[in-house]
């Protein structure tokens, strides 16, 4: 049994809902009160952001129409779709059916010039920088202040090695804005550092089929977030690209080709699913996520294996995954491959027996915020002992105290720290609308699943 007196969910109304825009402007917060029962819930999260934005790029490069099913509607995908339209491509989106029909440019871009505003979407600015390099025109890509602190230089230099004409406006920062004088990419050999962001390598891999000559890519140093590279490679194969590479993903050879348009189905977001799996872990009930399975395209499905190490029970089904909570124990884990779920594990670890050490996630410092520092800071704000390391953090178990959680304009901070409030009273999430980046309806969905009773 969990030694907590549980009593409800959202404060004031105790009804699951996302605050209205008017309420946001007045309060900018959601206070969560704990759940009074063991859960037995089922949910299908929205489509994967990572797959959606990759599919949009590949469809843009393809020849003819591609129909994408299960498309995520969020800030990150909206800026991607708007940017493709600014580049002269036709994207017809049906929000109700969650589809996009993209008329691709066959490896070129119709617009001779475009200004692209990417907010704080790292996938969008990195993937679009490579896409613009294969076009024929002048394109400028920029974003909010935090975007101007996120590294882009390694990608720019790799594209220059392939014959790209592009420059950072402030080279000393190694960050956006970037100006691309598109004239196509010749091909050849590019070397890229693998330890900052796997998105650099994914961006080049997706643009490579549109190059004039074969592309050889050599990765130097440790390649972080390898499952995301395997995702990119799988999607390239699905769109008809020919890519050769060894098992260690240290080098790649991409053959030029015009990709055909196609129908493509997008999985539910496994990173988003981590919050509901974590909900089962901290509540002691059972949550089933539909649309995901053990061989899912997204590496973040392995988050459930981390919970299993902590003591949870996991049931793999043909088209769903169920996690049941149990007494939790602290673990020592390398989360390099699934770093987008490290914040979720950190909040689950608060309720474990013994400390949890998360390793291998130094690259999290270059995300929407310095996620290592932010997680440790907010855990301490809640009265939890936590230690910051160069490559991760250590979380010691304890009982969170009432506090206001700062979210740093980082959607994953808001969603992961909501799990504290499911167990103990007095946890308030500031700026909950930051979840619009990838999951606009998160708090609504969380509230609904928290009403489901065990049979």
Given the residues 76, 154, 300, 340, select the one marked as catalytic: 340
C-alpha span between 303 and 341 (Å, rounded): 7
Q: Is residue 36 very low, low, confident or very high in pLDDT (cuts 50, 70, 90)? A: confident
Q: Is residue 454 very low, low, confident or very high in pLDDT (cuts 50, 70, 90)? A: low
Answer yes or no: 165 catalytic.
no
- Residue 78: the pLDDT is 97
Geometric angle at alpha carbon 274, from 271 and 276, rounded to 5°: 130
For domain 49-265, give the CATH superfamily.
Answer: Enolpyruvate transferase domain (3.65.10.10)
Same fold? 21-45+268-449, 49-265: yes
C-alpha span between 144 and 403 (Å, rounded): 28
| Pairing mode of beta strands 403-405, 427-430 | parallel
pLDDT at 26 over 80: no
pLDDT at 11 over 50: no
* CATH class of residue range 21-45+268-449: alpha beta
pLDDT in tens, 339-379: 999 999 999 999 999 999 999 999 999 898 999 999 999 99
Measuring CA to CA, which residue among 65, 71, 73, 72 is closest to residue 99? 71
Average pLDDT, the chain: 92
pLDDT in tens, 114-133: 999 999 999 999 999 999 99
Under DSSP, the state recorded for 240 is T
pLDDT in tens, 144-164: 999 999 999 999 999 999 999
pTM of the predicted model over 0.75: yes
CB atoms within 10 A of CB 237: 11
pLDDT in tens, 383-440: 999 999 999 999 999 999 999 999 999 999 999 999 999 999 999 999 999 999 999 9
pLDDT at 10 over 60: no
C-alpha span between 213 and 181 (Å, rounded): 19
Q: Which two tokens stand for residue 441?
A: 């309806």
Structural domain boundaries in the chain: 21-45+268-449, 49-265
């Amino acid at each position: 049994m969990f030694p907590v007196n549980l009593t409800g969910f959202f404060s004031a109304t105790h009804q699951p809902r996302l605050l209205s825009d008017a309420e946001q402007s007045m309060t900018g917060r959601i206070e969560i009160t704990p759940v009074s029962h063991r859960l037995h819930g089922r949910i299908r999260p929205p489509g994967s952001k990572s797959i959606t934005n990759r599919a949009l790029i590949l469809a843009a490069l393809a020849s003819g129409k591609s129909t994408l099913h299960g498309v995520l509607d969020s800030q990150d995908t909206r800026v991607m779709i708007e940017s493709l339209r600014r580049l002269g491509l036709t994207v017809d989106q049906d929000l109700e059916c969650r589809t996009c029909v993209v008329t691709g440019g066959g490896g070129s871009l119709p617009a001779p010039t475009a200004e692209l505003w990417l907010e704080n979407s790292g996938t969008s600015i990195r993937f679009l920088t490579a896409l613009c390099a294969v076009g024929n025109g002048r394109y400028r890509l920029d974003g909010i202040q935090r975007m101007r602190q996120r590294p882009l230089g390694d990608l720019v230099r790799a594209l220059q090695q392939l014959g790209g004409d592009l420059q950072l406006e402030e080279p000393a920062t190694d960050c956006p804005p970037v100006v691309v004088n598109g004239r196509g990419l010749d091909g050849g050999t590019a070397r890229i550092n693998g330890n900052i962001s796997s998105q650099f390598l994914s961006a080049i891999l997706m643009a490579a089929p549109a190059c004039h000559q074969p592309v050889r890519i050599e990765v130097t140093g440790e390649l972080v977030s390898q499952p995301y590279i395997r995702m990119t490679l799988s999607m390239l194969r699905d769109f008809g690209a020919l890519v050769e590479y060894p098992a260690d993903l240290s080098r790649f050879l991409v053959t030029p080709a015009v990709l055909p348009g196609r129908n493509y189905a997008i999985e539910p977001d496994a990173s988003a699913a981590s919050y509901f799996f974590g909900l089962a872990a901290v509540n002691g009930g059972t949550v089933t996520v539909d649309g995901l399975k053990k061989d899912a395209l997204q590496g973040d499905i392995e988050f459930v294996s981390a919970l299993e190490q902590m003591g949870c029970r996991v049931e793999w089904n043909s088209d769903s995954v169920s996690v049941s909570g149990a007494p939790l124990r602290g673990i020592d884990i390398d989360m390099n491959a699934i770093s987008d779920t490290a914040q979720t594990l950190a909040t689950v670890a608060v309720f474990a027996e013994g400390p949890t050490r998360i390793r291998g996630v130094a690259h999290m410092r270059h995300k929407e915020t310095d996620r290592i520092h932010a997680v440790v800071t907010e855990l301490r704000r809640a009265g939890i002992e936590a230690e910051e390391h160069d490559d991760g953090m250590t979380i010691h178990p304890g009982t969170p105290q009432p506090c206001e959680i700062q979210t740093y304009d980082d959607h994953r901070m808001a969603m992961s720290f909501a799990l504290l409030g499911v167990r103990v009273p007095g946890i308030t999430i500031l700026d909950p609308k930051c979840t619009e980046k990838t999951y606009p309806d998160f708090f609504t969905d969380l509230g609904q699943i928290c009403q489901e009773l065990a049979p």
